[in-house]
């Protein structure tokens, strides 16, 4: 029995943003998910509004608030993931770290944590130093969760006013990075499916 066309399109889940809406990192994540859709994927966004309602991860707490359950089920179903974080003080934000910590219930899955999934890493920070160090930390966490960071990680310097009035990235280099990260996640998901 052949799969329906919708089921053959990889599902890419985007995780990112801040408690401030709209945040630069969530705007860039939206652009990455649009690029993934243009490459033929289905997408799902789990943004700052949802992530801000996640309680701090506590491994001793057996309760599953609906936001955590939704995050876990989305990642469980995902063929690929894109994470976009602001760079705060040389690392990723506590909000994004808490979301990644909240994936702990996936440890017993047939595909534990992010295993077998490409993970696109995007950092938006006020300066290049924060971009670089936060990207290194994010990639390290993805490795620890058994994910495969894409060869390119995108860094956007928010001090350079990266968006035009319509929300598009003004620098072609920034747009190239975001589109490439998205395409690499989709391409890996397709290769894995074959």
So what's the architecture of 7-193 in CATH? 3-Layer(aba) Sandwich (3.40)
One-character DSSP codes across 119-175: EEEEEEESSHHHHHHHHHHHHHHHHHTT-EE-S--EEEEGGG--B-TTS-BSSHHHH
The pTM assigned to this predicted structure is 0.94
Q: What is the pLDDT of residues 7-46, one digit of tens each?
A: 589 999 999 999 987 899 999 999 999 999 999 999 999 9
Indicate the domain borders of the chain: 7-193
- pLDDT over threshold 60, residue 6: no
Whether the bond between 22 and the residue before it is cis, its omega within 30 degrees of 0, is: yes
| Range of lowest pLDDT (7-11, 92-96, 112-116, 143-147) | 7-11
pLDDT at 61: 79
18 close to 95: Cβ distance less than 8 angstroms:
yes
Q: Euclidean distance between the first and final Cα of the chain, in Å?
A: 17
Contact yes or no for 8/41 (Cβ under 8 A): no
């Amino acid at each position: 029995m052949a799969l329906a066309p919708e089921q053959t399109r990889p599902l890419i889940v985007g995780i990112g943003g801040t408690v401030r809406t709209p945040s630069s990192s969530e705007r860039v994540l939206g652009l990455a998910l649009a690029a993934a859709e243009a490459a033929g994927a289905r997408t799902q966004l789990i943004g700052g509004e949802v992530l801000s309602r996640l309680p701090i991860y506590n491994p001793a707490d057996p309760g599953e608030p609906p936001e955590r359950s939704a995050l876990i089920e989305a990642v469980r179903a995902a063929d690929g993931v894109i994470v976009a974080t602001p760079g705060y003080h040389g690392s990723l934000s506590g909000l994004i770290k808490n979301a990644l910590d909240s994936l702990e219930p996936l440890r017993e899955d047939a595909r534990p944590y992010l295993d077998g999934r490409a993970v696109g890493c995007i950092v938006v920070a006020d300066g290049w130093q924060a971009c670089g160090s936060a990207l290194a930390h994010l990639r390290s966490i993805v490795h620890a969760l058994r994910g495969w960071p894409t060869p390119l990680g995108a860094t956007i310097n928010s001090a350079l006013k990266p968006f035009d009035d319509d929300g598009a990235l003004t620098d072609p280099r920034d747009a190239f990075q975001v589109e490439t990260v998205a395409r690499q996640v989709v391409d890996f998901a397709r290769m894995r499916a074959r």
